[in-house]
Amino acid sequence: DAMVIQNPRYQVTQFGKPVTLSCSQTLNHNVMYWYQQKSSQAPKLLFHYYDKDFNNEADTPDNFQSRRPNTSFCFLDIRSPGLGDAAMYLCATSSIGRNYGYTFGSGTRLTVV
Amino acid sequence: AQSVTQPDIHITVSEGASLELRCNYSYGATPYLFWYVQSPGQGLQLLLKYFSGDTLVQGIKGFEAEFKRSQSSFNLRKPSVHWSDAAEYFCAVEKYGNKLVFGAGTILRVKS
């Protein structure tokens, strides 16, 4: 089945140690998104790629970066994780103009120790 | 700016009872509206979406939602709730630039 896959499901990292979360899709959607969801809160958009064009939300901290080497893969890099970055990170995809909606992965739960 | 309001943080219903989760949106044009469900520790699963046409939308798991432009609402309903429906439900609107903006969510508890 076509889907959005996030690895790993759970990630533990040390305070200040760079960490990378990955997302892959088999839907061939041209847009990929990264959302941060803290406990008991709504998902908050960090940034998205429209094809290779990177779009950062105005309030996304510089500590968060992203890479999209090809259509299928997108990475979220946290350069120096702080305790406040502990959250569920959700990857999503969509296909502009086809009204397919948005498909989410199962998320990566990040713990910072 | 586009925004979504879910006025109920928690709702508790008895199994077999009907359910309505409220959602109000603020958007200048014809909105694209969504309902997602999230079980603990899981990602978001799409229940249904409204783009245009018939204002009563059918979704998965027996859910439906009705778009009411005059009330700026997109309430989610289910005639008979099952214990497995206990989860958090998010209403969302597509913001200009093809981005989703979520409401704060409603946690549904089901009493047996």
Dist. CA B90–CA B92, nearest whole Å: 6
Contacts of A59 (CB under 8 A, 6+ apart): none
Residue B72: count of CB within 10 angstroms of its CB: 14
Residues B49-104 have pLDDT tens digits of 998 888 999 999 999 999 999 999 999 999 999 999 999 999 999 877 778 889 99
Q: Which of B13, B25, B16, B7 is nearest to B87 (CA)?
A: B13
What confidence tier does A105 reach under pLDDT thresholds 50, 70, 90? very high
Domain boundaries of chain B, sorted by first residue: 3-111
CATH number for the domain including A12? 2.60.40.10
- Structurally, chain A folds into a number of domains equal to 1
Dist. CA B26–CA B76, nearest whole Å: 17
**Mean pLDDT of all residues in A87-111:** 87
Which pLDDT belongs to residue A40?
83
Dist. CA B43–CA A104, nearest whole Å: 6
Contact yes or no for A104 and B44 at CB 8 A:
yes
**Mean pLDDT of all residues in A85-94:** 95
Q: Look at residue B40 and tell me whether its pLDDT is greater than 90.
A: no
How much is the mean pLDDT over chain B?
92
| Residues paired with A75 in a beta bridge | A22, A67
Which pLDDT belongs to residue B75?
98
More confident residue, A67 or B31: A67
Out of A31, A42, A45, the one facing B104 most closely (by C-beta) is A42
How much is the mean pLDDT over chain A?
92
Domain limits at A21?
Answer: 4-112
More confident residue, B1 or A111: A111
Query: Does the domain at residues B3-111 carry the CATH identifier 3.40.190.170?
Result: no
Phi, psi of B71 (to 5 degrees): -105, 0
The tokens describing B91, both together, are 């209403």
The tokens describing A101, both together, are 């909606």
Dist. CA B51–CA A41, nearest whole Å: 26
* Interface mutation vs chain A, best among B46, B89, B98, most A CBs within 10 Å: B98
